[in-house]
Amino acid sequence: MAAIDNVNIIRTGFYAIDFTLTDTEGNIFHLNDNLTGKFTCLVFFPDGEIEKVNNYLKSLNQGLPDTASGLPVQIVAISPEKASQLEHLKDKFKLGFPVLSDSRLFVSEKYHLVNVGSAKPSVYFSIYVIDDTGIIRHRAGEVPGLSRFSFEELKTAISRLI
């Protein structure tokens, strides 16, 4: 069964699943400790050099607008790659947001984003915008053949969130 077919898939209006991961600099990131006073944009992306995903990350590096209620939006990226590989990616694209390693797919599995149908399990490119109370307010992503991500649509959706 594909993740998109799963009835347990995390949807808009659900509470975000809390997690703790390490970033490229060895810092511990705990989701619930980083929600106060701002929205959080979680960006799950697959491993490997995928030009389209790299372009998405570069676009996100431009920043996101504040919500309609004036709260800023922090970006946090999550990938199944090891921290050392992600550090190289972060440096290469001069990413100004934390990049977390989920090398065991622990968090990606909780969010039902692992494509188990591939030879090597990979992660679907997905975005969750979480408010300061932990509720998912917007969800976007890209599943080949089913959906397509648009950075402009994400910015518009965020600017309308209260």
Domains of the chain from N-terminus onward: 40-160 (3.40.30.10)
Q: Tell me the pLDDT tens digit for each residue of 36-77.
A: 999 999 999 988 777 888 888 999 999 999 999 999 999 999
Of 16-25, 42-51, 77-86, minimum mean pLDDT range: 42-51
Q: Tell me the pLDDT tens digit for each residue of 105-114.
A: 999 999 999 8
Rounded-to-integer distance, Cα 38 and Cα 41, Å: 10
CA 134 vs CA 3, 41, 47: distances in Å: 22, 11, 27
Phi, psi of 105 (to 5 degrees): 60, 20
pLDDT at residue 1 greater than cutoff 90: no
pTM comes to: 0.89
